[in-house]
Amino acid sequence: MTQINVLIADDHKIFRDGIKSLLDKEKGIQVVAEASTGTEVLEMIGKFKIDVAIMDIDMGTPNGIETTARLKKNYPGIHVLVLSMLGLHDFILQALEAGATGYILKNAGKDELLTAIKSVANGDSYFSREVSSSLIEQLHRPAGSKKKLADVPLSPREIEVLKLIAQEFSNQEIADKLFISIRTVDTHRRNLLEKLRVRNNVGLTKYAISKGWIS
């Protein structure tokens, strides 16, 4: 991808201005649209070529989670990076279930924001340290409080790919480690999502933890 086209969705203009000013200085990233509400996002999304939507959660009705779900339903090729002050695992899980592939908090620095944008634009997931900690805490709750995941037979190669996904390796890193192409990695990932009936890497990670393949 030669250029990453970004939409910024946040109800505070001063925040949008700050993010835009930061991104405008970066080669290979261009802010092509801004929105202050979920409704504006859905109105704009078809008018611009957008690779990554940076999405706040608290934007009124529809909120960022509802907007993400609608966006992903109609434009599955657009990647959503949530940038929010809300770090509770309930919000994180809802956003990921809606289709977001990244989630960072608003206390993130410039370098982390740029890394997150590039990661999700490349089709990989990205979570800030606080978000990852919240997800891990949720995954380690007592077994009785978590939904039991189906025991599905996987091939040895699928298990290898699943373990690496759960350890947050990128598609390229997985391809390099297993000496296979990125396309093959993506095929395995899609097959895993279908077999395990989960929607994203969080679901795959939960399954890997439930099987004891990662700690």
Q: Profile the chain (215 residues) by mean pLDDT over runs of 10 residues.
A: 90 94 94 95 93 91 90 94 83 87 92 95 90 72 49 78 90 90 88 84 85 77
Distance, CA of 31 to CA of 194 (rounded, Å): 34
pLDDT of residue 145: 45
DSSP state of 59: S
pLDDT of residue 197: 82
Q: What are phi and psi of 85, to 5 degrees?
A: -85, -10
Kindly report the number of other CB atoms within 10 A of residue 153's CB atom.
6
pLDDT of residue 203: 84
pLDDT of residue 140: 60
DSSP state of 147: P
pLDDT of residue 153: 74
Dmax over CA atoms of the chain, in Å, equals 51
Burial class (CB in 10 A: 0-12, 13-18, 19+), 120: buried
Q: Which CATH class is domain 4-138?
A: alpha beta
Distance, CA of 134 to CA of 201 (rounded, Å): 15
Taking alpha carbons only, the member of 202, 201, 67, 106 closest to residue 146 is: 202
Residue 147 one-letter amino acid: K
Residue 44 one-letter amino acid: M
Residue ranges per structural domain of the chain = 4-138, 143-210
For 42-65, b/e burial (b = at least 16 CB within 10 A) is: bebbeeeebbbbbbbbebeebbbb
pLDDT of residue 138: 63
Distance, CA of 17 to CA of 86 (rounded, Å): 20
pLDDT of residue 195: 82
Residues composing the chain = 215
Kindly report the number of other CB atoms within 10 A of residue 141's CB atom.
10
pLDDT of residue 20: 96
- Looking at 1.10.10.10, 3.40.50.620, 3.10.129.10, 2.30.330.10, the CATH number of the domain 143-210 comes to 1.10.10.10
